[in-house]
Amino acid sequence: MAVNVAVVGATGAVGEEFLKILESRKFPLKELRLLASKRSAGKKIRFCGVDYTVQELTKHSFQGIKIALFSAGASISREYVPYALESGAICVDNSSAFRMDDDVPLVVPEVNPHDIVKHHGVIANPNCSTIQMVVALKPIHDVARIKRIVVSTYQAVSGAGLKAVDELQRETASILGGKGDFKRNLFPHQIAFNVLPQIPQNDAFLPNGYTSEEVKMVNETRKIMGDHNIRVTATTVRVPVIRGHSESVNVETEKKITAAEVKKLLSAAPGVKLVDDPANQLYPLATAAAGRDEVFVGRIREDESIDNGINMWIVSDNVRKGAALNAIQIAEKLL
Ligand code: A2P
């Protein structure tokens, strides 16, 4: 059944990827409506060989729309999702606006597809760092029950949008060109040749010293896994990579599971690609994950400091599985 689809934030990093994925997966589209800010109204975007004109997002944008894919930030979602719902659209929202609402399913199709049916018009797409982690951890949780997760992320700048990619590229060129006059607009410090332990870059730290990204990883992991007893602690870090988030993940399980058993489990897990051949220097890399759909897992080894612990390295394309692909997989399940 072909449906009318609106993409909110069509000119952004995730919006661009939505269009690539809708095209490559031959999503059954009747009408495609591209929405962005007033600044982009009238801009042409090519999709399946046809030029589409970007329209300004207004409260009237959703008439006749069946599925609205939102990726223009939480404040836009808060303002416009209600209008989309009024028009009868189902919203798949990539922002954090509704993720923790009790009546909004937070879905990763490989992990909790059954939650989709509980929706009341809005299905939330989780945070990019959370998505790739739970895809890799759910099979382990099912077998050995994860008690605690300690994660540190190495997140690409594309997670902060196209302006962030542009800032990294221009700053890198400026430094390599020996110019000392680069003016930053987005990041609070130099991101080129540097590592920033603050995501998002413009949010105040919380009173307990964590960032909102770190809190998202804690709360969203529990909600998606459907287990509020899992203890999670996160440190989220921006690195000068354009595409692909990497994560160092340590899990402590209730039941003993060996590294060999984890490798076997993950080699058959949906959405996961095991890349774990250290003797040949093969392990997941952001450069190899960029543009790919899978969550890549490697460096799997037992944590020798505790009885039941596993360490691993998890990498995925943050704009694809971490955002656009996951949302479109949800939309496909809805159909
Ligand atoms: P625009 O390009 O017109 O500013 P990114 O995550 O790459 O920064 O992209 C953000 C997306 O959200 C863009 O498509 C951007 O459109 C869109 N957006 C930002 N502000 C608004 C707004 N006020 N109304 C509609 N879309 C918006």
In this predicted structure, the answer to whether residue 180 has a pLDDT above a threshold of 90 is no
What angle do helix axes 128-144 and 212-225 make, rounded to 10 degrees? 40
- Does residue 330 sit in the same domain as residue 314? no
* pTM of the entire predicted model: 0.97
Is 179 found in the same domain as 85?
A: no
**CB-CB contact of 217 with 151 (8 Å):** yes
Q: Which domain holds residue 231?
A: 130-318
Same domain? For 169 and 21 the reply is no
Is there a single domain that holds both residue 297 and residue 327? no
Percent of residues in the chain assigned helix, strand, coil, to nearest 5: 35, 25, 40
Q: How far is the CA of 6 from the centre of ligand 1 (A)?
A: 14
The Cα 160–Cα 205 span in angstroms is: 17
Q: Kindly report whether the peptide bond that precedes residue 200 is cis, defined as omega within 30 degrees of 0.
A: yes
Is the CA virtual torsion 45, 47, 50, 53 positive or negative?
negative
pLDDT of amino acid 68: 98
Q: Closest Cα to atom 12, ligand 1: which residue?
A: 72
pLDDT digits 0-9 by tens, 187-196: 999 999 999 9
User: Which residues have C-beta atoms less than 6 Å from ligand 1?
Assistant: 9-13, 15, 36-37, 39-40, 57, 72, 76, 161-163
Question: Distance (Å, rounded) from C-alpha 217 to C-alpha 166?
Answer: 26
Report d(CA 241, CA 116) in Å as an integer.
Answer: 33
How many domains would you assign to the chain? 2
Q: What is the mean pLDDT of residues 5-17?
A: 97
Give the whole-number percent of the chain exceeding pLDDT 70. Answer: 100
Residues 50 and 140 in one domain: no
Is residue 73 located within the same domain as residue 136? Answer: no
Tens of pLDDT, residues 28-57? 999 999 999 999 999 999 999 999 999 999
Which residues are 123's β-sheet partners?
Answer: 92
The answer to whether residues 94 and 180 belong to one domain is no
- Residue range 178-203: average pLDDT? 95
Residue 6 has a pLDDT of 98
The atom of ligand 1 lying closest to the CA of 160 is: 6
Q: Is the pLDDT of residue 181 over 90?
A: no
Tell me how far apart the alpha carbons of residues 155 and 195 are, in angstroms, rounded to a whole number: 10
Pocket test of ligand 1: the residue of 18, 54, 76 to mutate, having most ligand atoms within 8 Å of its CB, is 76
Q: What is the CATH number of the domain that holds 40?
A: 3.40.50.720
Residues 101 and 162 in one domain: no
Binned at pLDDT 50, 70 and 90, residue 274 comes out as: very high
Q: Using the predicted structure, report yes or no on whether residue 1 has a pLDDT greater than 90.
A: no
| Same domain flag for 149 and 120 | no
